[in-house]
Amino acid sequence: MNYAEIKEYDIANGPGVRVSLFVSGCRNACPGCFNPETWDFDYGRTYTLETEDRILRLLMPEYIEGLTLLGGEPFEPENQAVLVGLLRKVKQIYPGKSVWCYTGYTYERDLLHGGDKYTSHTDEMLSLIDVLVDGRFLLAEKDITLLYRGSRNQRILDLHPRSADSSGTQAGAVDAVEQIAEIARGDSGWK
């Protein structure tokens, strides 16, 4: 997988201050796309173990609310295979931080069993995502006043409503240094 950009302090794509990963590769080809260079799967840099380690470290500060995946298209099958490993670690190390993901595909039609973008990784990926913003960007439905989405047809889906108890954030922060050190030592299962 390649990626276009990592934003260390993103306040536009989900609540709070977030780390955002813009992956490369998208087959949706929405007219008026805000990021057409990322349609190319070879655009940007190669995503490596070092990239993953950097993202995990960037998530560490308490003021970072969580991770957002966008692109490009996180649910292209090639990208799912890599991102599911990242999300597994994010949820293991930071159980109190939220994961948001933007997709041009439609949850019920494309991402559930039998859908065009359903792979052996999709169920797990969806289980690790808290909020999915789905649907193609439609120029005719564009509305710059919308929060966290570009066009009115897009939906903000809370896949797993979270407990109001925020104690997980503290526990995740305490364990983070040791777990990231393990990952840096190569005991991560990343491939």
Residues contributing to the site for ligand SF4 (CB under 6 A):
26, 28-30, 33, 35, 38, 71-73, 104, 136-137
Give the helix ranges, DSSP H, for the chain: 49-58, 77-93, 122-128, 167-184
Provide the minimum distance between the beta carbon of 44 and ligand SF4 in the complex, in angstroms, as a whole number.
13
- 103: tokens are 């997709």
Min separation Cβ 189 and ligand SF4, Å: 29
Which residues face 101 on adjacent strands?
A: 69, 132
Measured from the CB atom, the residue of 71 and 85 that comes closer to ligand SF4 is 71
Smallest distance, ligand SF4 to C-beta of residue 3, A = 13
H-assigned helices in 110-166: 122-128
| Adjacent-strand bridge partners of 183 | none
Q: Which is nearer to ligand SF4, 30 or 128 (CB)?
A: 30
Residues 125, 132 contacting (CB under 8 angstroms): no
Q: What's the rounded Cα separation, in Å, for the pair 134 and 181?
A: 34
- Rounded to a whole number of angstroms, the minimum distance from the CB of residue 150 to ligand SF4 is 7
- Give dist(CA 30, CA 154) in Å, integer: 13
Shortest distance (Å) from residue 157 CB to ligand SF4: 16
Smaller CB separation from ligand SF4, 52 or 134 = 134
Please state the φ and ψ torsions of residue 134, each to the nearest 5 degrees: -115, 165
Instruction: For ligand SF4, give the closer residue by CB, 154 or 188.
Output: 154
Give the residue nearest to ligand SF4 (CB).
Answer: 104
What's the full length of the chain, in residues?
Answer: 191
Q: Of 40 and 175, which CB lies nearer to ligand SF4 in the complex structure?
A: 40
